[in-house]
Amino acid sequence: MKTTKVSINAPVTLAYVFVSFVILVIGLVTGGRSTQLLFMTWHSSLLSPLTWLRFFTHVLGHAGWAHYMGNMAYILLLGPMLEEKYGTARIIEVIAMTALITALVNYIFFPSSALCGASGVVFAFILLSSFTGFRQGEIPLTFILAAVFYIGQQAAQGLFVRDQISQLSHIIGGLVGACAGFALNVEKR
């Protein structure tokens, strides 16, 4: 009789989901103070080491359960496939680059806005995943459609909908994923 066991197929993805969960719970217990202090980027002094830490950690914090669940559903769907194709180190790089670039753009151009959540990483993963069947000298139609649908939707919402969601971080995350998709696939050739 053969036994079935649970495998850890995507360590970065699983760690990301788990760490974000723990941070969310601690944030809820502290009334959001821990999230604001360590896992939300906002315009603070560049001389503070916490500012630089938050440039990377803001993608781990979430405002509540719905925010967390929405982002983690995509991370769990896309992360394992991306880790299998590109490796854990490359996925960590994509997450870190997305975090840093979205934080810097927000810091420079929107000093009165704070960022918190994995949405930029989700959009990076969405556009990066469209490169899974990439061949040299071709642009995947799935990439073009994903870019048009997701980036177009975010641009329209950014122009016409006033909410607490940073569509710019979604767009930047998508651009990071697209650039990573091109670079990682050209690099493999």
Query: Could you read off the pLDDT of 23-40 as tens digits, one per residue?
Result: 999 999 999 999 999 999
Q: What is the pLDDT of residue 104?
A: 93
Query: Could you read off the pLDDT of 54-82 as tens digits, one per residue?
Result: 999 999 999 999 999 999 999 999 999 99
Q: Which of 67, 64, 68, 37 is nearest to 53 (CA)?
A: 37
Q: 13-22, 64-73, 122-131, 134-143: which has the minimum mean pLDDT?
A: 134-143
Is pTM beyond 0.75? Reply is: yes
For the segment 16-22, the average pLDDT, to the nearest whole number, is 98
Chain mean pLDDT for the chain: 86
Say which amino acid occupies 31. Answer: G
Q: What is the largest CA-CA distance in the chain?
A: 62
Rounded CA separation 56/88 (Å):
17
Q: What is the pLDDT of residue 164?
A: 47
Q: What is the pLDDT of residue 32?
A: 94
Q: Is 48 left (phi over 0), alpha (psi -120 to 50) or beta?
A: beta
CB 120 within 8 A of CB 73: no
Query: Could you read off the pLDDT of 151-163 as tens digits, one per residue?
Result: 677 666 655 555 4
